[in-house]
Amino acid sequence: MSRFSAPIAEQIWDMKYRLKNAENDKGDATVEDTWRRIARALASVEAKPATWEGRFFKALEDFRFLPAGRITAGAGTGRSVTLFNCFVMGTIPDSMAGIFDMLKEAALTMQQGGGIGYDFSTIRPRGADVKGVAADASGPLSFMDVWDAMCRTIMSAGSRRGAMMATMRCDHPDIEDFITAKQDAARLRMFNLSVLVTDAFMEAVKDGGNWDLQFGGKVYRTLGARDLWNRIMRATYDYAEPGVIFIDRINQMNNLAYCEEIAATNPCGEQPLPPYGACLLGSLNLARLVRDPFAESAALDEEALDELVATAVRMMDNVVDASRFPLPAQQEEARNKRRIGLGVTGLADALLMVKLRYGSDEGARQTERWLHRIARAAYMASVDLAKEKGAFPLFDAEKYLESGALKHMDKDVRDAIAKHGIRNALLTSIAPTGTISLYAGNVSSGIEPVFAYSYTRKVLQKDGSRTEEEVVDYAVQMWRDKFGEADLPEYFVNAQTLAPAEHVRMQAAAQKWVDSSISKTINCPEDISFDAFKDVYLQAYESGCKGCTTYRPNDVTGSVLSVSEEKKKDTPSAEHIAVSTGDNDVPPADVVYITDPLDRPQALEGSTYKLKWPDSEHAIYITINDIVMGNRRRPFEVFINSKNMEHFAWTVALTRMISAVFRRGGDVSFVVEELKAVFDPRGGAWMQGKYIPSILAAIGGVIERHMISIGFIEGEGMGLKSDPQAEIMTIGERPRGPVCSACGSYEMRMVEGCMTCASCGYSKCG
């Protein structure tokens, strides 16, 4: 019997997490092999590996504990990748040499698969004097463009493009440019942006006071605090960015406030970290821990939860010792503090199983009780580890117990820490879990509500045939299994039916017992007024949240994916994702996703192009082969050759990367966009009357011309023309939302602070 409760779960495992080794056929034949591989790798640092391997396997079994994707995909594989998800890089010096040293460190970190965060507030504002060179500074935004271009060229582990967070203080002189930077559709696409909002600023907003923009002790400008706040809110209302981070609260509530200052977070915001800070993630699947679901006696098995938490803490602590690190400074920081980020997923499903409505007062109270129990168990497990293995090196009992987060911890836990110390400085965090939630059987993600009870998904098979699958929420499927097609009870709610205030209530309830932070999106209706939208952020601040991320669908961010109220024939309780047009008779869109890369035929047709880069001794030859599907051609593989050995390594890497993308199908024209955006800091070249910023951009131009010649795209700078593998339904020329670069479907939506594909689970943030 398969352990997978849904076809999509097995597909995600095979695509994202399964170890494959074609050379000797050694790899993960089953998901049990994957669990065994992880358990063995994390037990290898124990004094008695065999004993702990069995316990770790039991925790992983049946998807009860879900280590984050980097651990699941990388542990025990021998690959040179980091098992850590989150990094905040070193403080950026306000000097050209220092800035580019930081750029190199960022590239090395993303190369191993880490998402990174940076505070750009430390760079002097645009127009400030640069001493010694008689010039004006270009400002932090110009250097963010450099980071963005670098990130475009790096594919992180697991075929995931690099993700970055940029923060800027609300009193930096360039904050207004920062707020509007991503309103240019071609700029900073690799970044999430968040403003570091201080308590003083929030008080000035409430009082209607003035606000100084300053750097290095010099006031550059004074404006009304409410005016600046309204600019932040208007940008977020219209463009879904920037997010807001309440930075003073983060530092006040930090267990390590006595030895670190935080000014940045990882890409999705659940990990505020100091310079070179690193954190690993894992989630407890609450949906798998409910006894007697939907019965009067339904309850979370709290004893099983305590046991699972203790094992999970030990496993994650071992990751600190088992993982590689891109930089020595990151390893030192991680091992000095031994931060872990244990969170939850399936919360909304678990609430449904115990017959509670997500967003209700009782639902929030139960969430707080569950998170309190998890926090207690995690801290006590870490105390037990400290008895056995020692406290984290920077532990100072008196200072640690006086930190904000520990002040409201239970007395017996505080007493145990005072007596024995604690192994991990911080323990809890709620991360985005979109992909691992699908892998676990489509449980609700993180602490988010159920997005849709079910939707239809078409899958293209290798032989060109298509199968149609219904993807059903885990709790809904359990209801169907138990009660057949009976109507869902009133306490079943989803993201489309909740008010923003109910989202805030749930985030605040969870935040009390989460010592790091929470990745959560507060969904707002398209017709919410601007004043009501601003109130969401004020409610988040007043209720104790550490940050706030909202998503309001509109013509800029993409039309909303809504749930049709029409019931499916012969399936009374089923719901379907439909285009938000106000017309409930619209059928659900066909979403096509390729489960496996297409097999290569024996012979392919193609073309070879010669590219002569100025000042280069040898030409580059680019061969692009196509596959014919139906009566249409699409690019299938690329070969790049040159006698110049300087180009050898990167041309081989580029060949493999682009060919792998092409074979996945969907709208692969984004490859052209990415390549053409790369610039060479040494300078580009003029070719045929046009300035080309780099040799990679020139290669992108060759691929673009080929795509035009075979009819795959309409013309230069234009996207996909027609693709038999990605037939996307549009209504009135309005697409369903932003296109997914992984599978080509128009199913991108905001989940836990990051755009995520509802069809294939792709997310640039992880």
By annotation, the residues acting in catalysis are 266, 268, 270
Q: Classify residue 545 as left (phi > 0), alpha (psi -120 to 50) or beta.
A: beta
- SS3 labels along 196-224: EECHHHHHHHHHCCEEEEEECCEEEEEEE
The residues with which 454 forms a beta bridge, in sequence order, are: 472
- Find all residues with CB under 8 Å of 684, minimum gap 6, and list them: 691, 692, 693, 694, 697
How far is residue 258's CA from residue 509's CA, in Å, rounded to a whole number? 26
CA dist., res. 240 & res. 480, Å (int): 36
How far apart are alpha carbons 645 and 664 in whole angstroms? 30
Asked if 524 and 481 count as a contact pair (C-beta separation under 8 A), the reply is: no
CA 627 to each of CA 466, 598, 742: distance values in angstroms, whole numbers, following the listed order = 18, 10, 19
Q: Look at residues 415, 421, 419 and name the one whose alpha carbon lies nearest to residue 395.
A: 421
Give me the sign of the Cα torsion angle 229, 235, 241, 242: negative
Angle in degrees, 0-180, between the axes of helices 361-389 and 411-420, rounded to the nearest 10 = 20
Cis peptide before 242 (omega within 30 of 0): yes
Give the Cα separation of 208 and 195 in Å (integer). Answer: 19
The neighbour count for residue 21, using CB atoms within 10 Å, is 11
Q: What is the DSSP string of 635-700?
A: EEEEEEEES-GGGHHHHHHHHHHHHHHHHH-S-TTHHHHHHHT---TT--EEETTEEES-HHHHHH
Residue among 87, 91, 110, 113 nearest 266 (CA) = 87
User: How far, in Å, are 71, 320, 598, 659 from residue 44 at the CA level?
Assistant: 14, 12, 37, 36
**Where do we find the tokens 């593998």?**
725
Strands 86-88, 278-285: pairing kind: antiparallel
For residues 758 and 495, give the distance between their C-alpha atoms in angstroms, rounded to a whole number. Answer: 14
- Separation between Cα atoms, residue 611 and residue 619, nearest integer Å: 6
